[in-house]
Amino acid sequence: MLIIPIVLLVCAIILVGLLLAYSPGKPEPFLNDNGRMLSGSISEKIHVNINGVEQGMFIKGKDKTKPVLLFLHGGPGMPEYAISRKYPIVLENYFTVCWWEQRGAGLSYGSDISYETMTFEQLISDTLGVTDYLRKRFGQEKIYLMAHSGGSFTGIQAASRAPELYHAYIAVSQISNQLESEKLAYKYMIKQLTRLGEKRILHKFEKYPITEINTPSYYVMRDAPMHKLGIGTTHKMKSVISGVFLPVMLNKEYTLSEKINIWRGKFFTTKTANLWSKLVATDLTKKVQKLDIPVYFCVGRYDYTVSYTLAKDYFEKLQAPIKGFYTFEQSAHSPLFEEPEKMQQILQEDVLAGVNNLAEIK
């Protein structure tokens, strides 16, 4: 009878050993052809006091004299640097990139963070604080702001409040009216699952009428069918375990405790602080109708996590001196990672040049 507990203990020890081996927690440097650190590059993991809270970030770039780009991850509360190592990286070829992990998330998670400070107003203030830190540190009057998914909810508001700090705003899967987006996704999934004869999954949807979809339990349930239909995190990702969880746990630039904090922070921001429900309840198209800097929207054709159609409608209404809308035909919710070659071309030829020549809608 002791054999089973002993086997389980041995398996647990092996698993912990493997996780520790994959968790040295040191940022990987950029190397030249000779295997030495690339001259002029930067690769660091630091904490900076922003509005009274120590907040963590990776700063990465092959040439630290390049323009600075602040990346706002989605979620809320899901640091994307943790999974970005799985995908070809294009940002660090053209920018010095700050992969900031927002208050309460990942490197910036702490059990002492006040629940009262976990508001979007605070996250906007933090965004501007990190922006000022980067401007001063790298001696650049303006930086670029890129935001993905949940980060775009904060990012577009920060860009609206302080346009003088930014060269341009680049939105990847821009949120507009998320409640309407969820309704469109719900209807699409019902239609497609019915066509495929997925009675077991459809039975789960019966518990959630469309008028009651803004609940934590619904969002947990809808993840699996979204990925099954190719409208979730990426068009080809069928499982969040293989597509998100494992890449995080195998990322060597985090310690094991930091990896655990990624999941603790994700739970804290979405459940305890309830940021997602607050986001869903806001119509950004009424809140931000104009930006005084160039604006670029990059959206996946298959994206129903944040509606492609609604993002396009928002773009057409949004006022800005220069606008560019780009459809990523093979992508769902993460075109930055799904079609890096196209993203690279847009960044190089349009964003950095301050034009919109490649845009399909201007």
For residues 128 and 77, what is the distance between their CA atoms, to the nearest angstrom?
Answer: 18
Question: Is the torsion defined by CA of 72, 78, 82, 88 positive or negative?
Answer: negative
For residue 35, the model assigns a pLDDT of 85
Which pLDDT score, from 0 to 100, does residue 2 have? 62
Q: What pLDDT shows up at residue 281?
A: 87
Q: Please state, for a pLDDT cut of 70, what percent of the chain lies above it.
A: 93
**Per-residue pLDDT averaged across 66-74, rounded?**
97
Please compute the mean of the pLDDT values over residues 249-275 and round it to a whole number: 87
- Which of 15, 359, 305, 317 lies closest to 175 in space, CA to CA? 305
Tokens 């190592």 sit at which residue?
A: 85
Structure confidence at residue 114 (pLDDT) = 84
Q: What does the pLDDT read at residue 20?
A: 66
Question: For the residues 34-60, what does the mean pLDDT come to?
Answer: 95
Q: Number of C-alpha atoms within 13 angstroms, CB side, residue 242?
A: 7
Tokens of 151: 């980060």
Once rounded to an integer, what is the mean pLDDT over residues 221-233?
A: 92
Q: What's the mean pLDDT when you consider all of the chain?
A: 91
pLDDT at 15: 55
Cis check: omega of the bond before 76, within 30 degrees of 0: yes
CATH of domain 1-362: 3.40.50.1820
Q: Which H or E element spans position 116?
A: none
Q: Is the pLDDT of residue 1 over 80?
A: no
Quick check: 233 and 334 in contact, CB under 8 A? yes
Residue 306 structure tokens: 């944040």
pLDDT band at 19 (very low <50, low <70, confident <90, very high): low
Average pLDDT rounded to a whole number, residues 148-157: 96
Model confidence band, residue 18 (pLDDT cutoffs 50, 70, 90): low
Asked whether residue 16 carries a pLDDT value surpassing 80, the answer given is no
DSSP string over 216-277: HHHHHHHHHHHHHTT-SSSSS---HIIIIIHHHHT-TTSBHHHHHHHHHHHHIIIIIS-HHH
Instruction: Give the model's pLDDT for residue 344.
Output: 95
Q: Is the pLDDT of residue 276 over 60?
A: yes
For CA atoms 283, 132, 323, 59, the dihedral sign is negative
pLDDT of residue 3: 65
Q: Which of 48, 47, 50 is nearest to 124 (CA)?
A: 50
pTM above 0.75, yes or no: yes
The better pLDDT of the pair 8, 301 is held by 301
- 312-362 pLDDT, tens per residue? 999 999 999 999 999 999 999 999 999 999 999 999 999 999 999 999 999
Task: With cut-offs at 50, 70 and 90, classify the pLDDT of residue 289.
Answer: very high
Query: For the segment 204-216, what is each residue's pLDDT rounded down to a tens digit?
Result: 998 888 887 877 7
CA distances in angstroms from 53 to 113, 203, 255, 262, listed in the order given: 8, 45, 20, 17
pLDDT in tens, 115-137: 888 899 999 999 999 999 999 99
Q: Residue 55 — very low, low, confident or very high, per pLDDT cuts 50/70/90? A: very high
